[in-house]
A and B are shown apart, each in its own frame.
Chain A
Amino acid sequence: MNDIWNWELAWEALPTLLVGFFTVTLLVTVVSTAIAAILGLVIAIARRSAPKPIAAVIRFVIDFIRMTPIVVQLLFAYYAFTNIDPLTIGIAVFGIHYSTYMAEVYRAGIESVPKGQWEATTALSMSRRRTWVAVIIPQAVRATVPALGNYAISMFKDTPFLLSIGVVEMVQAGLVFGGNHFKYIEAITLAGIIFLLASYPTSLLICRLEKRLAFRN
Protein backbone atom coordinates (compact mmCIF):
# COMPACT_ATOMS: atom_id res chain seq x y z
CA MET A 1 0.00 0.00 0.00
CA ASN A 2 2.85 2.31 0.88
CA ASP A 3 4.24 2.47 -2.64
CA ILE A 4 0.84 3.45 -4.05
CA TRP A 5 0.05 6.20 -1.57
CA ASN A 6 2.86 7.92 0.33
CA TRP A 7 1.59 9.92 3.31
CA GLU A 8 4.85 11.80 3.73
CA LEU A 9 4.75 12.96 0.14
CA ALA A 10 1.09 13.92 0.53
CA TRP A 11 1.97 15.96 3.64
CA GLU A 12 4.77 17.61 1.72
CA ALA A 13 2.51 18.46 -1.23
CA LEU A 14 -0.20 20.04 0.90
CA PRO A 15 1.44 23.47 1.54
CA THR A 16 2.20 23.88 -2.20
CA LEU A 17 -1.40 23.09 -3.05
CA LEU A 18 -2.82 25.39 -0.41
CA VAL A 19 -0.66 28.28 -1.57
CA GLY A 20 -2.01 27.78 -5.10
CA PHE A 21 -5.51 27.44 -3.69
CA PHE A 22 -5.50 30.67 -1.70
CA THR A 23 -3.37 32.90 -3.93
CA VAL A 24 -4.99 31.97 -7.24
CA THR A 25 -7.97 29.58 -7.15
CA LEU A 26 -9.87 31.37 -4.41
CA LEU A 27 -8.78 34.84 -5.49
CA VAL A 28 -9.94 34.31 -9.08
CA THR A 29 -13.23 32.78 -7.92
CA VAL A 30 -14.06 35.66 -5.59
CA VAL A 31 -13.00 38.56 -7.81
CA SER A 32 -14.40 37.07 -11.02
CA THR A 33 -17.70 36.26 -9.32
CA ALA A 34 -17.96 39.90 -8.23
CA ILE A 35 -17.21 41.04 -11.80
CA ALA A 36 -19.72 38.58 -13.24
CA ALA A 37 -22.40 39.65 -10.77
CA ILE A 38 -22.04 43.34 -11.61
CA LEU A 39 -21.33 43.08 -15.34
CA GLY A 40 -24.14 40.55 -15.75
CA LEU A 41 -26.59 43.03 -14.26
CA VAL A 42 -25.31 45.82 -16.52
CA ILE A 43 -25.73 43.57 -19.58
CA ALA A 44 -29.24 42.52 -18.53
CA ILE A 45 -30.34 46.13 -18.01
CA ALA A 46 -28.68 47.25 -21.27
CA ARG A 47 -30.45 44.49 -23.19
CA ARG A 48 -33.77 45.59 -21.82
CA SER A 49 -33.39 49.35 -22.22
CA ALA A 50 -31.40 49.52 -25.49
CA PRO A 51 -33.17 49.94 -28.84
CA LYS A 52 -33.94 46.66 -30.63
CA PRO A 53 -31.00 46.47 -33.07
CA ILE A 54 -28.49 47.15 -30.28
CA ALA A 55 -30.21 44.63 -28.01
CA ALA A 56 -29.91 42.06 -30.82
CA VAL A 57 -26.19 42.75 -31.13
CA ILE A 58 -25.74 42.40 -27.37
CA ARG A 59 -27.61 39.12 -27.50
CA PHE A 60 -25.41 37.77 -30.27
CA VAL A 61 -22.22 38.74 -28.44
CA ILE A 62 -23.49 37.08 -25.24
CA ASP A 63 -24.40 33.89 -27.09
CA PHE A 64 -21.05 33.88 -28.82
CA ILE A 65 -19.12 34.21 -25.56
CA ARG A 66 -21.32 31.64 -23.85
CA MET A 67 -21.12 29.02 -26.57
CA THR A 68 -17.34 29.07 -27.05
CA PRO A 69 -14.77 27.45 -24.72
CA ILE A 70 -13.29 29.53 -21.93
CA VAL A 71 -9.89 27.91 -22.60
CA VAL A 72 -9.83 29.37 -26.12
CA GLN A 73 -10.94 32.75 -24.79
CA LEU A 74 -8.17 32.65 -22.18
CA LEU A 75 -5.54 31.87 -24.82
CA PHE A 76 -6.94 34.55 -27.12
CA ALA A 77 -6.76 37.25 -24.44
CA TYR A 78 -3.36 36.01 -23.28
CA TYR A 79 -1.76 36.38 -26.73
CA ALA A 80 -3.69 39.54 -27.60
CA PHE A 81 -2.67 41.45 -24.44
CA THR A 82 0.91 40.40 -23.87
CA ASN A 83 1.55 43.45 -21.69
CA ILE A 84 -1.00 42.41 -19.05
CA ASP A 85 -0.06 39.76 -16.52
CA PRO A 86 -1.76 36.37 -16.98
CA LEU A 87 -3.53 36.36 -13.60
CA THR A 88 -5.31 39.64 -14.40
CA ILE A 89 -6.27 38.27 -17.82
CA GLY A 90 -7.60 35.14 -16.17
CA ILE A 91 -9.71 37.13 -13.72
CA ALA A 92 -11.10 39.32 -16.51
CA VAL A 93 -11.90 36.41 -18.86
CA PHE A 94 -13.60 34.38 -16.12
CA GLY A 95 -15.55 37.46 -15.02
CA ILE A 96 -16.72 38.27 -18.55
CA HIS A 97 -17.49 34.66 -19.49
CA TYR A 98 -19.62 34.09 -16.42
CA SER A 99 -21.28 37.51 -16.69
CA THR A 100 -23.00 36.20 -19.84
CA TYR A 101 -24.55 33.43 -17.76
CA MET A 102 -25.48 35.82 -14.99
CA ALA A 103 -27.08 38.20 -17.50
CA GLU A 104 -29.55 35.44 -18.41
CA VAL A 105 -30.34 34.84 -14.75
CA TYR A 106 -30.93 38.54 -14.12
CA ARG A 107 -33.04 38.77 -17.27
CA ALA A 108 -35.37 36.12 -15.88
CA GLY A 109 -35.35 37.95 -12.54
CA ILE A 110 -36.24 41.28 -14.16
CA GLU A 111 -39.01 39.65 -16.18
CA SER A 112 -40.47 38.15 -13.03
CA VAL A 113 -41.04 41.62 -11.52
CA PRO A 114 -44.80 42.22 -11.91
CA LYS A 115 -45.87 44.70 -14.57
CA GLY A 116 -47.71 46.70 -11.92
CA GLN A 117 -44.38 47.69 -10.38
CA TRP A 118 -43.30 49.33 -13.64
CA GLU A 119 -46.64 51.05 -13.98
CA ALA A 120 -46.40 52.30 -10.41
CA THR A 121 -43.02 53.92 -11.07
CA THR A 122 -44.55 55.69 -14.08
CA ALA A 123 -47.52 56.80 -11.98
CA LEU A 124 -45.10 58.21 -9.40
CA SER A 125 -43.10 59.79 -12.27
CA MET A 126 -39.88 58.26 -11.02
CA SER A 127 -36.76 58.78 -13.13
CA ARG A 128 -35.42 55.80 -15.11
CA ARG A 129 -32.49 55.59 -12.74
CA ARG A 130 -34.67 55.51 -9.65
CA THR A 131 -37.03 53.02 -11.23
CA TRP A 132 -34.17 50.58 -11.68
CA VAL A 133 -32.24 51.26 -8.50
CA ALA A 134 -35.09 51.63 -6.01
CA VAL A 135 -37.79 49.37 -7.43
CA ILE A 136 -36.81 46.86 -10.09
CA ILE A 137 -33.29 45.71 -9.15
CA PRO A 138 -34.02 44.99 -5.47
CA GLN A 139 -36.94 42.76 -6.46
CA ALA A 140 -35.22 41.15 -9.43
CA VAL A 141 -31.92 40.35 -7.77
CA ARG A 142 -33.06 38.63 -4.57
CA ALA A 143 -34.20 35.44 -6.27
CA THR A 144 -31.02 35.28 -8.35
CA VAL A 145 -28.64 34.86 -5.39
CA PRO A 146 -28.68 31.03 -5.44
CA ALA A 147 -27.95 30.99 -9.18
CA LEU A 148 -25.03 33.34 -8.63
CA GLY A 149 -23.74 30.96 -5.97
CA ASN A 150 -24.03 27.98 -8.30
CA TYR A 151 -22.11 29.79 -11.02
CA ALA A 152 -19.45 30.74 -8.47
CA ILE A 153 -19.00 27.03 -7.65
CA SER A 154 -18.92 26.18 -11.32
CA MET A 155 -16.28 28.87 -11.91
CA PHE A 156 -14.31 27.60 -8.92
CA LYS A 157 -14.07 24.18 -10.56
CA ASP A 158 -13.14 25.76 -13.90
CA THR A 159 -10.14 27.67 -12.47
CA PRO A 160 -7.68 24.89 -13.47
CA PHE A 161 -8.28 26.07 -17.05
CA LEU A 162 -5.91 28.89 -16.07
CA LEU A 163 -2.98 26.55 -16.50
CA SER A 164 -3.42 27.01 -20.27
CA ILE A 165 -2.05 30.55 -19.85
CA GLY A 166 0.66 29.57 -17.39
CA VAL A 167 -1.02 30.68 -14.17
CA VAL A 168 0.02 28.32 -11.40
CA GLU A 169 -3.20 27.59 -9.55
CA MET A 170 -3.75 24.60 -7.30
CA VAL A 171 -3.91 21.84 -9.93
CA GLN A 172 -0.95 23.16 -11.88
CA ALA A 173 0.99 23.42 -8.60
CA GLY A 174 0.08 19.78 -7.93
CA LEU A 175 1.18 18.77 -11.41
CA VAL A 176 4.53 20.50 -11.00
CA PHE A 177 4.97 18.89 -7.59
CA GLY A 178 4.11 15.47 -9.05
CA GLY A 179 6.53 15.98 -11.92
CA ASN A 180 9.36 16.91 -9.55
CA HIS A 181 8.77 13.84 -7.38
CA PHE A 182 7.99 11.47 -10.28
CA LYS A 183 4.76 10.62 -8.49
CA TYR A 184 1.41 12.23 -9.24
CA ILE A 185 -1.13 10.38 -7.14
CA GLU A 186 -0.76 12.30 -3.86
CA ALA A 187 -0.81 15.85 -5.20
CA ILE A 188 -3.56 15.35 -7.79
CA THR A 189 -5.79 13.33 -5.48
CA LEU A 190 -5.38 15.96 -2.77
CA ALA A 191 -6.25 18.71 -5.24
CA GLY A 192 -9.46 16.84 -6.07
CA ILE A 193 -10.29 16.38 -2.40
CA ILE A 194 -9.73 20.08 -1.70
CA PHE A 195 -12.13 20.95 -4.55
CA LEU A 196 -14.70 18.56 -3.14
CA LEU A 197 -14.29 19.80 0.45
CA ALA A 198 -14.76 23.40 -0.66
CA SER A 199 -17.54 22.99 -3.22
CA TYR A 200 -19.81 20.37 -1.65
CA PRO A 201 -20.63 22.24 1.60
CA THR A 202 -21.06 25.47 -0.36
CA SER A 203 -23.54 23.80 -2.69
CA LEU A 204 -25.50 22.45 0.29
CA LEU A 205 -25.58 25.96 1.72
CA ILE A 206 -26.88 27.38 -1.54
CA CYS A 207 -29.52 24.67 -1.68
CA ARG A 208 -30.76 25.74 1.77
CA LEU A 209 -30.72 29.39 0.79
CA GLU A 210 -32.74 28.54 -2.30
CA LYS A 211 -35.37 26.78 -0.20
CA ARG A 212 -35.54 29.68 2.24
CA LEU A 213 -35.99 32.26 -0.51
CA ALA A 214 -38.66 30.11 -2.15
CA PHE A 215 -40.44 29.77 1.19
CA ARG A 216 -40.44 33.51 1.89
CA ASN A 217 -41.90 34.40 -1.50
Chain B
Amino acid sequence: MDSNFEALGAALPRILDGVWITLQLTVGGALLAMLIAVTLGLLARQENILVRGFARAIIEFFRGTSLVVQLFWFFFVLPQLGVELDAMFVGILALGLNYGAYAAEVVRGSINSVPQGQWEATTALSMTSAQRMRRVIFPQAWALMIPSLSNLLIHLLKGTAIVSFITMADLTFRVDQLRIDTDTFFAYTVGLIIYFVLAYILTLVMNMLEVQAKHRLGRGESLREALSLRSPDTGVDAGEGARS
Protein backbone atom coordinates (compact mmCIF):
# COMPACT_ATOMS: atom_id res chain seq x y z
CA MET B 1 0.00 0.00 0.00
CA ASP B 2 2.87 2.38 0.86
CA SER B 3 4.35 1.94 -2.59
CA ASN B 4 0.98 3.00 -3.99
CA PHE B 5 1.14 6.31 -2.16
CA GLU B 6 4.78 6.80 -3.14
CA ALA B 7 3.84 6.30 -6.79
CA LEU B 8 0.92 8.68 -6.33
CA GLY B 9 3.25 11.28 -4.83
CA ALA B 10 5.65 10.93 -7.74
CA ALA B 11 2.82 11.15 -10.27
CA LEU B 12 1.07 14.06 -8.55
CA PRO B 13 2.41 16.85 -10.83
CA ARG B 14 1.25 14.92 -13.91
CA ILE B 15 -2.13 14.20 -12.35
CA LEU B 16 -2.55 17.90 -11.58
CA ASP B 17 -1.69 18.65 -15.22
CA GLY B 18 -4.49 16.25 -16.14
CA VAL B 19 -6.91 17.96 -13.74
CA TRP B 20 -5.97 21.30 -15.31
CA ILE B 21 -6.76 20.00 -18.82
CA THR B 22 -10.06 18.52 -17.61
CA LEU B 23 -10.96 21.83 -15.95
CA GLN B 24 -10.08 23.85 -19.07
CA LEU B 25 -12.31 21.58 -21.14
CA THR B 26 -15.13 21.77 -18.60
CA VAL B 27 -15.08 25.55 -18.21
CA GLY B 28 -14.41 26.23 -21.89
CA GLY B 29 -17.08 23.75 -22.95
CA ALA B 30 -19.56 25.17 -20.46
CA LEU B 31 -19.02 28.78 -21.60
CA LEU B 32 -19.39 27.83 -25.27
CA ALA B 33 -22.43 25.68 -24.41
CA MET B 34 -24.05 28.59 -22.58
CA LEU B 35 -23.46 30.95 -25.51
CA ILE B 36 -24.97 28.40 -27.92
CA ALA B 37 -27.82 27.57 -25.54
CA VAL B 38 -28.94 31.18 -25.11
CA THR B 39 -28.66 31.88 -28.85
CA LEU B 40 -30.52 28.74 -29.95
CA GLY B 41 -32.97 28.93 -27.05
CA LEU B 42 -33.99 32.46 -28.05
CA LEU B 43 -34.11 31.61 -31.76
CA ALA B 44 -36.25 28.53 -31.08
CA ARG B 45 -38.94 30.81 -29.61
CA GLN B 46 -39.14 33.14 -32.61
CA GLU B 47 -42.39 33.33 -34.52
CA ASN B 48 -40.68 33.23 -37.92
CA ILE B 49 -40.88 29.58 -38.91
CA LEU B 50 -37.59 29.67 -40.83
CA VAL B 51 -35.65 30.98 -37.84
CA ARG B 52 -37.38 28.58 -35.48
CA GLY B 53 -36.91 25.66 -37.85
CA PHE B 54 -33.21 26.48 -38.20
CA ALA B 55 -32.72 26.53 -34.42
CA ARG B 56 -34.73 23.32 -33.95
CA ALA B 57 -32.73 21.52 -36.65
CA ILE B 58 -29.41 22.49 -35.04
CA ILE B 59 -30.65 21.49 -31.58
CA GLU B 60 -31.98 18.10 -32.71
CA PHE B 61 -28.90 17.44 -34.82
CA PHE B 62 -26.40 17.97 -32.02
CA ARG B 63 -28.56 16.22 -29.44
CA GLY B 64 -29.18 13.24 -31.68
CA THR B 65 -25.78 12.38 -33.12
CA SER B 66 -23.77 11.37 -30.03
CA LEU B 67 -20.96 13.38 -28.47
CA VAL B 68 -18.27 10.87 -29.46
CA VAL B 69 -19.29 10.99 -33.13
CA GLN B 70 -19.12 14.79 -33.08
CA LEU B 71 -15.74 14.69 -31.39
CA PHE B 72 -14.37 12.25 -33.96
CA TRP B 73 -15.89 14.20 -36.82
CA PHE B 74 -14.05 17.35 -35.77
CA PHE B 75 -10.86 15.44 -34.98
CA PHE B 76 -10.58 12.94 -37.86
CA VAL B 77 -12.77 14.28 -40.67
CA LEU B 78 -12.09 18.02 -40.58
CA PRO B 79 -8.31 17.66 -41.08
CA GLN B 80 -9.03 15.62 -44.23
CA LEU B 81 -11.16 18.51 -45.47
CA GLY B 82 -8.20 20.80 -44.88
CA VAL B 83 -9.21 22.21 -41.47
CA GLU B 84 -6.56 21.48 -38.84
CA LEU B 85 -7.72 22.19 -35.31
CA ASP B 86 -5.93 22.00 -31.98
CA ALA B 87 -7.11 19.02 -29.88
CA MET B 88 -8.14 21.29 -26.99
CA PHE B 89 -10.19 23.41 -29.38
CA VAL B 90 -11.83 20.29 -30.84
CA GLY B 91 -12.71 19.07 -27.35
CA ILE B 92 -14.24 22.39 -26.30
CA LEU B 93 -16.09 22.67 -29.62
CA ALA B 94 -17.65 19.19 -29.41
CA LEU B 95 -18.58 19.53 -25.73
CA GLY B 96 -19.93 23.06 -26.24
CA LEU B 97 -22.07 22.14 -29.26
CA ASN B 98 -23.44 18.92 -27.76
CA TYR B 99 -24.29 20.21 -24.29
CA GLY B 100 -25.24 23.60 -25.74
CA ALA B 101 -27.98 21.86 -27.73
CA TYR B 102 -29.27 20.17 -24.57
CA ALA B 103 -29.07 23.42 -22.61
CA ALA B 104 -30.90 25.31 -25.38
CA GLU B 105 -34.01 23.30 -24.53
CA VAL B 106 -33.57 24.24 -20.86
CA VAL B 107 -33.22 27.93 -21.77
CA ARG B 108 -36.27 27.82 -24.03
CA GLY B 109 -38.38 25.98 -21.47
CA SER B 110 -37.39 28.32 -18.63
CA ILE B 111 -38.16 31.44 -20.64
CA ASN B 112 -41.56 29.99 -21.49
CA SER B 113 -42.19 29.31 -17.80
CA VAL B 114 -41.87 32.95 -16.76
CA PRO B 115 -45.42 33.92 -15.74
CA GLN B 116 -47.61 35.60 -18.33
CA GLY B 117 -48.18 38.64 -16.12
CA GLN B 118 -44.49 39.52 -16.34
CA TRP B 119 -44.68 39.65 -20.13
CA GLU B 120 -47.86 41.73 -19.99
CA ALA B 121 -46.25 44.13 -17.50
CA THR B 122 -43.39 44.82 -19.90
CA THR B 123 -45.91 45.66 -22.59
CA ALA B 124 -47.73 47.95 -20.18
CA LEU B 125 -44.41 49.71 -19.49
CA SER B 126 -43.83 49.85 -23.28
CA MET B 127 -40.43 48.22 -23.03
CA THR B 128 -38.65 47.20 -26.21
CA SER B 129 -38.32 43.46 -26.72
CA ALA B 130 -34.59 43.66 -25.93
CA GLN B 131 -35.27 45.52 -22.68
CA ARG B 132 -38.00 43.06 -21.80
CA MET B 133 -35.69 40.07 -22.21
CA ARG B 134 -32.65 41.61 -20.58
CA ARG B 135 -34.26 43.32 -17.60
CA VAL B 136 -37.37 41.32 -16.80
CA ILE B 137 -37.71 37.90 -18.43
CA PHE B 138 -34.18 36.53 -18.57
CA PRO B 139 -33.24 37.23 -14.92
CA GLN B 140 -36.31 35.26 -13.84
CA ALA B 141 -35.73 32.48 -16.36
CA TRP B 142 -32.09 32.30 -15.23
CA ALA B 143 -33.14 31.46 -11.67
CA LEU B 144 -35.44 28.74 -13.04
CA MET B 145 -32.85 27.17 -15.34
CA ILE B 146 -29.91 26.88 -12.93
CA PRO B 147 -30.85 23.48 -11.40
CA SER B 148 -31.09 21.86 -14.86
CA LEU B 149 -27.94 23.60 -16.05
CA SER B 150 -26.19 22.34 -12.96
CA ASN B 151 -27.07 18.76 -13.93
CA LEU B 152 -25.85 19.35 -17.46
CA LEU B 153 -22.59 20.81 -16.15
CA ILE B 154 -21.91 17.60 -14.23
CA HIS B 155 -22.68 15.63 -17.41
CA LEU B 156 -20.26 17.87 -19.29
CA LEU B 157 -17.52 17.30 -16.71
CA LYS B 158 -18.05 13.54 -17.04
CA GLY B 159 -18.16 13.88 -20.82
CA THR B 160 -14.67 15.43 -20.86
CA ALA B 161 -13.26 11.96 -20.04
CA ILE B 162 -13.64 11.00 -23.70
CA VAL B 163 -10.97 13.44 -24.90
CA SER B 164 -8.40 10.81 -24.02
CA PHE B 165 -9.71 9.17 -27.26
CA ILE B 166 -8.27 12.10 -29.22
CA THR B 167 -4.81 11.91 -27.66
CA MET B 168 -5.35 14.49 -24.92
CA ALA B 169 -3.63 13.93 -21.57
CA ASP B 170 -6.61 14.71 -19.35
CA LEU B 171 -7.31 13.34 -15.87
CA THR B 172 -8.58 10.00 -17.23
CA PHE B 173 -5.39 9.57 -19.27
CA ARG B 174 -3.20 10.38 -16.24
CA VAL B 175 -5.10 7.94 -14.04
CA ASP B 176 -4.60 5.27 -16.66
CA GLN B 177 -0.86 6.03 -16.53
CA LEU B 178 -0.85 5.91 -12.74
CA ARG B 179 -2.24 2.38 -12.95
CA ILE B 180 1.10 1.18 -14.34
CA ASP B 181 2.90 2.05 -11.09
CA THR B 182 0.14 1.22 -8.60
CA ASP B 183 -2.53 -1.44 -8.44
CA THR B 184 -5.64 -0.92 -10.54
CA PHE B 185 -7.98 -0.49 -7.63
CA PHE B 186 -5.87 2.25 -6.08
CA ALA B 187 -5.33 4.24 -9.27
CA TYR B 188 -8.97 4.26 -10.33
CA THR B 189 -10.25 4.95 -6.84
CA VAL B 190 -8.02 8.04 -6.77
CA GLY B 191 -9.28 9.02 -10.22
CA LEU B 192 -12.94 8.60 -9.33
CA ILE B 193 -12.50 10.55 -6.09
CA ILE B 194 -10.89 13.46 -7.95
CA TYR B 195 -13.75 13.53 -10.46
CA PHE B 196 -16.26 13.32 -7.62
CA VAL B 197 -14.63 16.25 -5.79
CA LEU B 198 -14.60 18.32 -9.00
CA ALA B 199 -18.27 17.53 -9.59
CA TYR B 200 -19.06 18.42 -6.00
CA ILE B 201 -17.28 21.79 -6.28
CA LEU B 202 -19.13 22.57 -9.51
CA THR B 203 -22.44 21.71 -7.82
CA LEU B 204 -21.61 24.07 -4.94
CA VAL B 205 -20.73 26.87 -7.38
CA MET B 206 -24.02 26.36 -9.21
CA ASN B 207 -25.93 26.37 -5.90
CA MET B 208 -24.26 29.68 -5.07
CA LEU B 209 -25.29 31.07 -8.46
CA GLU B 210 -28.85 29.98 -7.75
CA VAL B 211 -28.91 31.69 -4.35
CA GLN B 212 -27.54 34.84 -5.97
CA ALA B 213 -30.00 34.73 -8.87
CA LYS B 214 -32.95 34.33 -6.49
CA HIS B 215 -31.69 37.09 -4.21
CA ARG B 216 -31.52 39.45 -7.18
CA LEU B 217 -35.19 38.76 -7.79
CA GLY B 218 -35.89 39.64 -4.18
CA ARG B 219 -36.41 36.04 -3.11
CA GLY B 220 -34.32 34.42 -0.40
CA GLU B 221 -31.15 35.56 1.31
CA SER B 222 -28.07 37.04 -0.32
CA LEU B 223 -25.02 34.95 -1.10
CA ARG B 224 -23.12 36.51 1.80
CA GLU B 225 -25.92 35.65 4.23
CA ALA B 226 -26.16 32.11 2.86
CA LEU B 227 -22.41 31.57 3.28
CA SER B 228 -22.06 33.07 6.75
CA LEU B 229 -21.39 30.57 9.49
CA ARG B 230 -23.81 31.98 12.06
CA SER B 231 -27.22 30.42 11.74
CA PRO B 232 -29.29 32.76 9.58
CA ASP B 233 -31.93 34.79 11.35
CA THR B 234 -35.15 33.20 10.21
CA GLY B 235 -37.34 34.98 12.73
CA VAL B 236 -40.13 33.59 14.84
CA ASP B 237 -40.47 30.16 13.19
CA ALA B 238 -36.96 29.03 14.08
CA GLY B 239 -37.41 30.13 17.68
CA GLU B 240 -40.60 28.14 17.99
CA GLY B 241 -39.02 25.15 16.36
CA ALA B 242 -36.19 25.27 18.88
CA ARG B 243 -38.57 25.42 21.79
CA SER B 244 -40.77 22.51 20.80
List residues of A (59-88) whose CB comes within 8 Å of B's CBs: 64, 67-73, 75-76, 79-80
Q: Is A34 an interface residue (CB 8 A)?
A: no
CA A184 to CA B73, docked complex, whole Å: 8
B65-A69 in contact (CB<8A): no
Residues of chain B contacted by A185 (CB below 8 angstroms): 77, 80-81
Q: Which of A68, A76, A160, A183 contacts B158 (CB 8 A)?
A: A68
Majority SS at the chain A contact face: helix
Q: Is B68 an interface residue (CB 8 A)?
A: yes
Residues of chain A contacted by B195 (CB below 8 angstroms): 67-69, 72
CA A191 to CA B71, docked complex, whole Å: 12
Q: Is B67 an interface residue (CB 8 A)?
A: yes
Q: Is B72 an interface residue (CB 8 A)?
A: yes
Given known contacts A67-B199, A72-B161, A76-B192, A171 and B68 CB-to-CB distance under 8 angstroms: yes
Given known contacts A75-B176, A188-B73, A189-B77, A195 and B64 CB-to-CB distance under 8 angstroms: yes
CA A183 to CA B65, docked complex, whole Å: 20
A79-B158 in contact (CB<8A): no
Bits for A1-30, please: 1 = Cβ < 8 Å to B, else 0. 000100000000000000000000000000
Most central of A4, A68, A80, A185 by chain B CB within 10 Å: A68
- Kindly provide the distance from the CB of B170 to the nearest chain A CB, expressed in whole angstroms: 10
Return the chain A residue nearest B67 by Cβ: A157
CA A47 to CA B72, docked complex, whole Å: 40
List residues of A (197-213) whose CB comes within 8 Å of B's CBs: 199-200, 203
Given known contacts A175-B76, A183-B80, A200-B60, A73 and B68 CB-to-CB distance under 8 angstroms: no
Q: Is A146 an interface residue (CB 8 A)?
A: no
Return the chain A residue nearest B163 by Cβ: A71
- Kindly provide the distance from the CB of B78 to the nearest chain A CB, expressed in whole angstroms: 9
Q: Is B70 an interface residue (CB 8 A)?
A: yes
Bits for A137-177, please: 1 = Cβ < 8 Å to B, else 0. 00000000000000000000110110110000001000100
A164-B165 in contact (CB<8A): yes
Residues of chain B contacted by A72 (CB below 8 angstroms): 161, 172, 175, 188, 191-192, 195
Q: Is A192 an interface residue (CB 8 A)?
A: yes
Q: How many residues of A contact B (CB 8 A)?
A: 35
B188-A69 in contact (CB<8A): no
Bits for B1-36, please: 1 = Cβ < 8 Å to A, else 0. 000000000000000000000000000000000000
Q: Is A196 an interface residue (CB 8 A)?
A: yes
Return the chain B residue nearest A199 by Cβ: B64
Q: Is A178 an interface residue (CB 8 A)?
A: yes
B80-A79 in contact (CB<8A): no
Residues of chain A contacted by B203 (CB below 8 angstroms): 67
Given known contacts A72-B192, A73-B192, A75-B172, A192 and B66 CB-to-CB distance under 8 angstroms: yes
CA A4 to CA B161, docked complex, whole Å: 31
Residues of chain A contacted by B73 (CB below 8 angstroms): 188-189, 192
Residues of chain B contacted by A175 (CB below 8 angstroms): 72, 76
Q: Which of B154, B164, B179 contacts A67 (CB 8 A)?
A: B154
Q: Is B119 an interface residue (CB 8 A)?
A: no
- Kindly provide the distance from the CB of B58 to the nearest chain A CB, expressed in whole angstroms: 12
Residues of chain A contacted by B67 (CB below 8 angstroms): 157
Residues of chain A contacted by B76 (CB below 8 angstroms): 175, 178, 184, 188
CA A184 to CA B69, docked complex, whole Å: 11
B69-A69 in contact (CB<8A): no
- Kindly provide the distance from the CB of B59 to the nearest chain A CB, expressed in whole angstroms: 11
A80-B64 in contact (CB<8A): no
B192-A195 in contact (CB<8A): no
The 4 closest A-B pairs by CB, nearest first: A160-B68, A69-B161, A76-B188, A67-B199
Extra A-B contacts (6), CB below 8 Å, given A72-B195, A171-B68, A188-B69: A64-B192, A67-B158, A67-B199, A68-B196, A69-B157, A75-B172
Residues of A within 8 A of B (CB): 4, 64, 67-73, 75-76, 79-80, 157-158, 160-161, 163-164, 171, 175, 178, 183-185, 188-189, 191-193, 195-196, 199-200, 203
5 A-B contact pairs sorted by A residue (CB < 8 Å)? A69-B195, A75-B176, A158-B66, A183-B80, A195-B64
